[in-house]
Structure 1
Amino acid sequence: MQPHCTIDARRYRAVLFDLDGVITDTMRFHYEAFHKAFERLGLDVKSLDIYTHEGMPSMKLGRALVEEYGASVSDEELKKTVDEKRELYRQMAEGNIRAYPGVPETLAMLRENGVKLALVTGSNRRSVTKVVEEAGLTGMFDAIVTGEDTERGKPFPDPYLKGMDKLGADKAYSVVVENAPMGIKAAKAAGVDYVIAVTTTLPEQYFKDADDIMPSFADLGDCLAKRIEASSGG
């Protein structure tokens, strides 16, 4: 698959990124933690289950999984299982968090060009702070929205509306970068003008509603650099 790279990069003044699977290579830890924790409930959770629901707060994702598998699980038992998942994720990710190639350079380039940056994720603030710090990206984002900051998470528009509000950004001049269908739906529902999907966890067929598709963050970074240079007459 070739990157499409159709974005008019100079038009946009804000870029809002999902975290896991976009900025950091951490979705595999989330899947492995969900799989192991939910085995206790007798559920054999598949990677596709997690990747297609990614972006939802963990409790809501857990409830969706339970319902899809037709299991009967109380709220108390589900909370216990999700808490176990979070602890497993913490153990798996500890010391193993890495930003995707090209992330630091691309964020720096966008900031140098006056573009405001936000991180919009369904993860809790404690986890997000740890991931950003370990990935070496502290201070790179002008705003961070976590699963604790809105009543409704992705696929509802609230997280991206909150992110644009924090940035003081106009949706007509904003871009979202996502790797999950739930996130694409949230961005579109928020009226974001341009939505880019990166196929780090799911193939292109899952992103029919995206305006552009890239196979990796490195390809996205190269595209933005070329488009910004071209539009500035470089």
Structure 2
Amino acid sequence: MFQSAIHRYLDTHKHNTIPLKAVLFDMDGVLFDSMPHHANSWHMIMEERGLHLSKEEAYLHEGRTGAGTINLICQRQYGRNATEKEIKDIYRAKTEAFNKMPLADRMNGAWEVLSKVKRDGLFSMVVTGSGQATLLSRLNDNFPNIFKPELMVTAFDVKFGKPHPEPYLMALNKGNLKANEAIVIENAPLGVQAAAAAGIFTVAVNTGPLDDKILLDAGANILFPSMQAFCDSWETLLKELTNVKILA
């Protein structure tokens, strides 16, 4: 079912096998159904300041650091980067707006697939562009005994956010992993680009309003329509990932 995509990955990156050890999960839109809240809060705060970022466009910038998003909009609208004060004020206001919204639910299928990953002797890591404490602090409450703080990469850890490969390269370093020893689960085009640039087999889950083609064009190796669909196919995918080989 997934063999052709796995063969293409192995051939492209000159690997013979995928000796899988870890699964690297994005957080917003993958583990939590939080992207609608992020999109709404970004749109509202930007409009209040005369900056224009639609809810739909917010999904395209998902995974970018807050400073990166603010700079991009200021460059487009004013032809300059935002000042440090503007970045601080806008991101603080966006965070406050986000925190006033209802807590995001776990994404359907997320807990189940994390449990399967652990059952199968692999470990999970979070690689997120988020710095939202309300979500970061909920990881252990919603997914107990899954994630370790030392095996997390957040907006506070990186200089370059997605689509730069730094977040996923840092995850490989923290997990003592080679690129072909992990897979990435992403729902955002910038996250897919970052994972692909890091040379990691990338699974896209389209949990938002974007066209599938956007995620595939960003570099996803395979795509599922939801986290539940990914969860339901986990056993098949794992078997094929670990069994497909290219002869040297």
- The TM-score, its normalising length taken from structure 1, stands at 0.87
May I ask how many residue pairs the two structures share in their alignment?
226
> What is the identity percentage for the equivalent residue pairs of Structure 1 and Structure 2?
28
Structure 1 residue 181, shift from structure 2 partner: 1.2
Task: In structure 1, give the amino acid aligned to 2:112.
Answer: E
Q: Return 211-220 or 136-145, whichever deviates more.
A: 136-145
Q: Is the 8 A contact 1:57 1:153 kept in 2?
A: yes
Which of 42, 46, 55 is equivalent to 1:47? 55
Q: Report how far residue 231 of structure 1 moved.
A: 8.7
Q: Where does the alignment leave 5 or more consecutive residues of structure 1 unmatched?
A: none
Cα drift, residue 146 of structure 1: 0.4
- Corresponding residue number in structure 1 for 2:13: none
Query: Deviation above 3 Å: which 4+ runs of structure 1?
Result: 4-11, 69-75, 226-232
In structure 1, what is the Cα distance between the partners aligned to 2:22 and 2:241? Answer: 17
User: Deviation per CA, 1:208-227, whole angstroms, max 9, x where unpaired?
Assistant: 22100000000001111234
| Aligned equivalents of 1:191, 1:228: Cα separation in 2 | 18
- Counterpart Cα distance in 2 of 1:10 and 1:173: 6
Q: What is the identity, as a one-letter code, of the residue corresponding to 1:226? A: T
**CA drift at 1:26:** 0.1
- Contact map agreement 1:10 1:228 (CA 8 A) in 2: no
What letter is aligned with 2:139? V
1:98 corresponds to 2:105: yes
Q: How does 1:1-234 map to 2 (within 5 A)?
A: 5-6=2-3, 11-70=19-78, 74-93=83-102, 96-124=103-131, 126-133=133-140, 136-142=142-148, 143-192=151-200, 194-201=201-208, 202-207=210-215, 208=217, 209-228=219-238
Looking at structure 2, the residues matched to 231 and 190 of structure 1 have their Cα atoms a distance apart, in angstroms, of 18
* Cα distance in 2 between the residues matched to 1:213 and 1:45: 27
Q: Give the TM-score normalised by the residue count of structure 2.
A: 0.82
What CA deviation, in whole Å up to 9, does each residue of 1:106-140 have, x standing for no partner?
10111111111100001126344224245x11431
Distance in 2, Cα, partners of 1:148 & 1:141: 17
Cα distance in 1, alignment partners of residues 241 and 86 from structure 2: 55
- Distance in 1 (alpha carbons) for counterparts of 2:25 and 2:107: 13
The whole-number CA distance in structure 2 between the counterparts of 1:217 and 1:145 is 21
Question: Matches of 2:132 and 2:171 in 1, distance apart?
Answer: 14
Q: Structure 1 residues 227 and 76, CA, compared in 2 at 3 Å: closer, same or farther?
A: closer
Q: SS of the residue aligned with 2:173?
A: helix
